[in-house]
């Protein structure tokens, strides 16, 4: 059974009774059973859940503390033979001090205890009245079994932990413990620790923790939930971690506060699961976190391991931690159930209309600003674009028009050129002409057919043979025309090719592959299509028209036109015969493959697994595997075309510019990737 780099985690908020440790123990054990049935590897319970967080001065009762330890011992025994790691909150006494702790339990053993560092002592919270700070273990105020080592500059205490005998087990107690479950390493902070200027989790992560566990008892007041979500979100994002936040719920004393059971699971700033608040029963939320992805992101972000301005590296902090091998993860069958949503179209904006509008505006502004800057820098008298009536040239034309508007230049200086070839259809030709007229740009038409036919005669090519030479001759003739027109008008050629075509090498070398500024070079095909539709539906009024066709009608018809280079003659009815997606695969699949291969370094096998989850209702495994095979073959084999790309603006997190995010040898072999799919 393959885990694909995932670990299944859970946050559980049990119904509690204050100071009724027997009842609380039973609720915890019931939720452990549910976690086991759902093949969870790591389950987290709230702060002081064994006793209840709101015991107040009852924490001074020796009986309560003894019973709490007995309850933890019972929970420890209950986990024997189970593949789940349990983290539960309990008061723990050490050296005549009481600590607010997280106890890590696995298979009948206590693996380690983590005390809370920051103790609130304000408003309704008076933890410092009952508990000591876990900072004791970091300052040398407790007996420490760790040894001192010389790191070349000063002495560093290794381990920062002490040994404790608790529930019949000997284990370490310290805030600086890293626990490893299978391939995942987690560390712990408790409630208030997160709300401080320098949360312990920041140091835990640079020391090696990929997951952060937070046992909390966070009460509810107006707008606090929104702030709490933002806090957890941002912490998981800038530490590149998975964050399991589990808070107390129903049953805590409401003498002055209400606890709603706010539990959250985030991964690198993305919400994976959220518990419904203000329920009166015990609850559990489950998510599958991608530890492999987090590792790759940290590997790519070299600055992650510099943790102070003077260049102190993470290795310095790692020496201050002790590592605890907890055990293997659960035997989780991620094929059977998968607790995370896989977005089929990761490049396309999603969410509420306002969020979509903001993202589309942002993309357009990046493209427009980049082009406007280049136009002004070279003092361009014109911008020349080949207009085909297809998606890419439509988006490039819209961006160019907006750039000219921003510069205060006349749209007549935008020269759109239609160049009918041997496969041009009436539908695309008409849409190209009408769009230029609606936008008020200068339109020119030059047929490439006579020049191409002469070229065929010059090189001795049989025009009845519709091969690569037949197709590429048209693309190169068009590029030559655009370049020469730009010279004649003192302008630059604006490229139209998109990110998906570059990834697949679906462009003619020194044809549509080349321009003087490529505005779409980091915009994938699925996003090009979405942006064109969005512009057509939101940016034009009924007055923007040509005859009885509005600009909106024209753009939406372009969006609905089958994607084709139109280099092969149309059929007898004048319809397109050369469909790009029949040749290179559906663009929604290619964009999905590109996103996961580039962004997260996923192996072909993992991408296939994700594709089954995202597209299983639309494509069978044979189809997905076939197109994935072709994707890797084209992506790796066509690097030479990307090694000499023109300039263009980076729009999203994925771009293939050889000067930026993707630097790959042109002679790399694809066997490694294709063999895995075989």
Q: Are 536 and 559 in contact (CB under 8 A)?
A: yes
Rounded to whole angstroms, the Cα distance separating 193 from 310 reads 25
Q: Are 374 and 517 in contact (CB under 8 A)?
A: yes
For this structure, is 116 an active site residue? yes
Rounded to whole angstroms, the Cα distance separating 31 from 261 reads 15
Q: Kindly name the residue from 101, 161, 171, 191 that is annotated as catalytic.
A: 191
Task: Please state the length of the chain.
Answer: 678
Among residues 493, 531, 534, the alpha carbon closest in space to that of 510 is found at: 493
Rounded to whole angstroms, the Cα distance separating 455 from 449 reads 10
Q: Are 17 and 23 in contact (CB under 8 A)?
A: yes
- What is the dihedral sign for C-alpha 14, 20, 21, 23? negative
- Return the axis-axis angle of helices 291-300 and 587-600, rounded to nearest 10°: 70
Q: How far is CA 319 from CA 150, 314, 315, 603, 608, in A?
A: 11, 9, 6, 32, 39
Strand, helix or coil for residue 308: coil
Rounded to whole angstroms, the Cα distance separating 381 from 414 reads 9
For this structure, is 566 an active site residue? no
Token pair belonging to 73:
């011992």
Among residues 290, 310, 318, 303, the alpha carbon closest in space to that of 203 is found at: 318
Token pair belonging to 316:
């310095």
Rounded to whole angstroms, the Cα distance separating 433 from 428 reads 9
The neighbouring-strand residues paired with 273 are 265
Place of tokens 């008076």: 126
Q: Are 519 and 487 in contact (CB under 8 A)?
A: no
Rounded to whole angstroms, the Cα distance separating 660 from 134 reads 45
The neighbouring-strand residues paired with 444 are 417
Q: Other C-beta atoms within 10 Å of 547: how many?
A: 8
Token pair belonging to 270:
């993305």
Residue 396: partners with Cβ closer than 8 Å, 6 or more residues away = 385, 494, 495, 496, 519, 520
Residue 294: partners with Cβ closer than 8 Å, 6 or more residues away = 210, 240, 241, 242, 267, 268
Q: Kindly name the residue from 39, 47, 192, 292 that is annotated as catalytic.
A: 47
Among residues 103, 129, 99, the alpha carbon closest in space to that of 116 is found at: 99
For the chain, the C-alpha Rg in angstroms (whole number) is 31
Q: How many Cα atoms sit within 13 Å of 36 on the Cβ side?
A: 16
- What are the helix (H) ranges across 98-241? 136-139, 200-206, 224-238
Q: Are 536 and 552 in contact (CB under 8 A)?
A: yes
**108 torsion bin: left (phi>0), alpha (psi -120 to 50), beta (else):** left
Rounded to whole angstroms, the Cα distance separating 187 from 26 reads 26
Residue 349: partners with Cβ closer than 8 Å, 6 or more residues away = 355, 356, 359, 360, 530
Q: Kindly name the residue from 67, 111, 116, 525 that is annotated as catalytic.
A: 116
- What are the helix (H) ranges across 561-645? 580-584, 587-600, 604-615, 621-637, 639-642
**324 torsion bin: left (phi>0), alpha (psi -120 to 50), beta (else):** beta
Q: Are 283 and 276 in contact (CB under 8 A)?
A: yes
For this structure, is 191 an active site residue? yes
Active site residues: 47, 116, 191
């Amino acid at each position: 059974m393959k885990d694909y780099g995932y670990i299944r985690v859970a946050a559980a908020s049990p119904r509690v009774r204050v100071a009724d440790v027997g009842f609380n123990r039973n609720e915890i054990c019931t939720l452990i059973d549910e976690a086991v049935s759902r093949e969870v590897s790591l389950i987290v319970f709230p702060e002081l859940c064994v006793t209840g967080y709101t015991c107040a001065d009852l924490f001074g009762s020796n009986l309560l503390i003894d019973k709490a330890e007995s309850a933890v011992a019972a929970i420890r025994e209950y986990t024997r033979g189970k593949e789940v790691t349990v983290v539960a909150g309990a008061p723990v006494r050490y050296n005549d001090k009481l600590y607010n702790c997280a106890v890590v339990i696995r298979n009948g053993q206590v693996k380690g205890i983590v005390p809370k560092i920051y103790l609130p002592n304000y408003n309704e919270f008076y933890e410092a009245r009952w508990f000591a700070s876990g900072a004791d273990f970091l300052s040398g105020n407790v007996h420490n079994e760790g040894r001192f080592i010389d790191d070349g500059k000063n002495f560093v205490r290794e381990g920062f932990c002490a040994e404790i005998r608790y529930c019949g087990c000997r284990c370490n107690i310290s805030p600086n413990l890293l626990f490893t479950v299978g391939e995942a390493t987690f560390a712990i902070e408790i409630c208030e620790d997160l709300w401080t200027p320098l949360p312990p989790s920041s140091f835990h992560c640079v020391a090696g923790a990929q997951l952060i566990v937070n046992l909390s008892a966070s009460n509810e007041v107006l707008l606090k939930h929104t702030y709490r979500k933002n806090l957890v979100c941002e912490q998981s994002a800038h530490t590149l971690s998975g964050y399991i936040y589990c808070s107390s719920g129903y049953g805590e004393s409401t003498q002055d506060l209400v606890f709603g059971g706010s539990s959250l699971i985030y991964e690198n700033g993305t919400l994976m699961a959220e518990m419904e608040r203000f329920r009166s029963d015990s609850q559990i939320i489950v998510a599958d976190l991608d530890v492999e992805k987090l590792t790759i992101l940290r590997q790519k972000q070299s600055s992650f391991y510099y943790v102070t301005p003077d260049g102190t590296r993470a290795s310095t902090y790692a020496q201050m931690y002790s590592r605890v091998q907890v055990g293997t993860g659960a035997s989780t069958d991620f094929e059977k159930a998968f607790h995370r949503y896989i977005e089929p179209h990761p490049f396309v904006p999603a969410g509420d209309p306002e969020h979509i509008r903001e993202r589309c505006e942002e993309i357009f502004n990046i493209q427009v600003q980049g082009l406007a800057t280049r136009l002004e820098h070279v003092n361009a008298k014109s911008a020349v674009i080949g207009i085909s009536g297809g998606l890419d040239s439509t988006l490039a034309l819209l961006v160019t028009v907006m750039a000219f508007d921003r510069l205060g230049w006349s749209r007549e200086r935008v020269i759109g050129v239609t160049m009918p070839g041997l496969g041009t259809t009436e539908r695309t030709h008409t849409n190209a002409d009408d769009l230029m007229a609606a936008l008020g740009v200068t339109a020119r038409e030059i047929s490439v057919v006579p020049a191409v036919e002469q070229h065929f005669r010059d090189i001795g090519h049989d025009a009845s043979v519709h091969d690569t030479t037949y197709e590429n001759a048209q693309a190169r003739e068009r590029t030559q025309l655009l370049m020469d027109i730009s010279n004649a008008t003192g302008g630059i050629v604006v490229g139209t090719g998109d990110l998906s075509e570059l990834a697949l090498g679906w462009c003619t070398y020194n044809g549509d592959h080349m321009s003087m500024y490529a505005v779409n070079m980091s915009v994938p095909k699925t996003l090009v299509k979405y942006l064109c539709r969005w512009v057509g539906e939101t940016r034009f009024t009924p007055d923007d028209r040509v005859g009885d066709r509005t600009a909106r009608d024209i753009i939406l018809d372009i969006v609905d036109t089958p994607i084709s280079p139109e280099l092969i003659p149309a059929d007898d009815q004048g319809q397109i015969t050369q469909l790009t997606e029949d040749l290179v695969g559906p663009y929604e699949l290619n964009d999905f493959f590109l996103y996961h291969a580039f962004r997260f370094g996923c192996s072909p096998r993992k991408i296939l697994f994700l594709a089954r989850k995202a597209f299983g209702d639309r494509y069978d495994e044979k189809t997905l595997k076939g197109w994935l095979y072709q994707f890797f073959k084209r992506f790796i084999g066509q690097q030479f075309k990307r090694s000499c790309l023109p300039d263009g603006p980076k729009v999203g997190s994925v771009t293939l510019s050889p000067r930026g995010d993707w630097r790959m040898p042109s002679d790399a072999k694809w066997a490694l990737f294709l063999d895995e799919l075989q």
